[in-house]
Structure 1
Amino acid sequence: MKTLAALSLLFLVANVSFAAEPLPRATNSLGMTLIEIPAGEFNRGMTDDQKLRLNHPNTLEQGADLIDERPAHQVRISKPFWIATQEVTVGQFRKFVEETKYQTSAEKNGRGALVFNPAEKDGVARFVQKSDANWKNPGFAQTDDHPVTCVSWQDATAFCDWLSKQEKTTYRLPTEAEWEYAARAGNDTIYVGGDTPASVYAYGNIGDATLEAAHPGVVKRQHLTVTPEEQTDGVVYTAPVGKFKPNAWGLFDTHGNVWEWCSDRYADRYYQELQKAARDPRTGRMVVTVDPQGPETTPQHKFGDWRSMRGGCWYTGPMASRSASRAYGEAGDAFCYAGFRVARASP
């Protein structure tokens, strides 16, 4: 009988050999390219080894427990699934709005969206709610090729419902597990390009020297110490999707640009609860968690429908833009740093 370790190794080898060949691709009616991600296993979250390898100049963050990313745990994605290679764009979202006359959360809630306020020196107050802010007016210029922002989780799921009807198949937001599995693309490094903060700049639009030059003090507080050449991506706010290098499986912008909504409810101690549930009561051994979809509810959810986001954004430094990084927002709220990409099941 094969041991659990041997089975895990078989899954890992299968993934690596499969990834050596180009993954299947498809294009839908909106011109989105999707790739089929194979089933397999991976270590989700920040492992002890990754934490030891973490080389970040912000000593406060370096010493943090990263409680919502730990403990790392083995996850199995039991079925192949399709995921968009790029984030949903302004142009794609506009087509949805024009055909359905849909009003986003920010347009109908009376509060608008949370947008960048660079004049404020305090870090928290650098983002403020503006009643006239929405996906058409995020506070900075965008073209149809930029990722749509100022859309809530509810807006993202409404878009998926519409696209499902258009395509006669089921589109949805990826789960957190699917998102991280696809973003890592078979590697166990802290970033797609390696373990060093400087490696992230080739793969994504994050808070860098370009943003710092436009708004002094915004990025400096994140204590970036890499060279100016390495920390300059030439973009202040969002970048057109697909501008940077893709990961090994062909996904773009898994670091930075916009935080991406996932389907899961968010809980900061969710990984700990999973680990308790994943321990075999007879042997005490850890078993693999299969297709986790987030908690059904938590005590905090009586105060709001908190949903997970992944990937970092144009404002965050390398530390908050890692493959394991997690963030969250209330499902009805909209932010100038949040968007989404779509997924769908394989036949």
Structure 2
Amino acid sequence: MVAVPGGTFAMGATVDRGYGPIDGPTRQVTVAPFHLAAHEVTLDAFRRFTEETGYVSAGKCNVYTDDTSWHIDPDRNWQTPGFVQAADHPVVCVSWRDTQAFIGWLNAATGRQYRLPSEAEWEYVATLADLGDTRGGGPGVTHELANIGKVKCCGGKAEGRDVWIETAPVGSFPADRLGLYDIRGNVWEWQADCYHDDYVGAPADGSARGECPTGGYHSIRGGSYGDAGEFLEERFRLRGPEDQGFFTVGFRLAHSAEGANKGR
């Protein structure tokens, strides 16, 4: 786990990208010190969890076949996402509920309290990362810095240092200045928060937002091997049903600072 210092930052934006003002309003949020895993959870780690517990995912994995059509493919799941993965690739096609089952197993096995990061924690880390400035007209994240996709939606792209069409082994690209890998690109990451259309009424202490609206949607962050441009921005957020996975979405573990296992 990587120690993240606490601090206060301006979270959110007021830009409407055509999806509504989902990234705002901008507000000051104070994040307590915490720990975040250096890497996304791997296929090997998730497989070990299922083998030890007998856990069976619901297997609802969303894929897209063109620029706009997302649908559940009954033949896709975390074991067969539709492309080849090695053990050290980030697991995909896992739902938010799957992440909670994994975390419950890990906590029971270690006696610790791992969790998903909150949206505020994730965005705070991304603002500290200094990896491809996406604000103020910066050049953004490139194929030299992260496993990302085509400039125009959608799909993986191999270019430069990025030789992977889909997922890459975790840690294949340079770490950010905190020592975290793949905060941008590779796979989107589930967040602890219930998804709300904006930040009105959201906590200002960095904690996750509860009370999910009807439908049980949770936030995802960071972009994937199939995304570029605005999808990789610190403030950009999407949502997913808690009982469904996506072939572009995985997860990363967090831990509150007190008692965190810095060796994992």
Report the TM-score, using the length of structure 2 for normalisation: 0.87
Cross-structure match for 2:48: 95
Structure 2 residue matching 1:242: 3-state secondary structure: coil
Q: Per-residue deviation at 1:178? A: 0.9
Distance apart, 1:46 and its partner CA:
2.9
Q: Which residue of 2 aligns with 1:43?
A: 10
RMSD in angstroms over aligned alpha carbons? 2.6
Cα deviation code 1:134-160 (max 9, x no counterpart): 100000000001000000000011111
State the match for 1:124 in structure 2: 68
Q: What whole-Å deviation, never above 9, does each CA across 1:147-199 have from its counterpart, x for those lacking one?
A: 0000000001111111111111101111111111122226598539x8223x4
Measured at CA, do residues 116 and 186 of structure 1 come closer, stay the same or move farther in structure 2, by a change above 3 Å? closer
2:216 counterpart of 1:321? no
Q: Which runs of 5+ in 1 are unaligned?
A: 1-33, 52-59, 107-111, 209-218, 223-227, 278-288
Structure exhibiting the larger radius of gyration computed from Cα positions: 1
Matched-pair contact (CA < 8 Å) for 1:191–1:200 = no
Count of aligned residue pairs for this structure pair: 254
Q: 2:168 aligned to 239, 243, 262, which one?
A: 239
Pairwise CA distance, 1:202 = 2.9
Taking the TM superposition and a 5 Å limit, the aligned residue runs for 1:1-347 are: 34-46=1-13, 61=17, 64=18, 67-78=21-32, 80-106=33-59, 112-117=60-65, 120=66, 123-125=67-69, 127-185=70-128, 190-191=133-134, 195-197=138-140, 199-208=141-150, 220=152, 233-269=162-198, 271-274=199-202, 289-297=204-212, 301-302=213-214, 304-347=215-258
Going from structure 1 to structure 2, the CA distance change for 1:236 and 1:189 (only over 3 Å counts) comes to closer
Q: Counterpart of 2:146 in 1: which secondary structure?
A: coil
**Structure 1 residues 186, 132: closer, same or farther in 2, change over 3 A?**
closer
Query: AA paired with 2:193?
Result: D
SS of the residue 1:261 aligns to: strand
Identity %: 37
List runs of 5+ in structure 2 lacking aligned partners.
Answer: 259-264
> Higher helix fraction: Structure 1 or Structure 2?
1
Q: Could you tell me which residue of structure 2 aligns to residue 28 of structure 1?
A: none
Matched-pair contact (CA < 8 Å) for 1:310–1:326? yes
Q: Residues of 2 paired with 1:65 and 1:129: CA distance?
A: 22
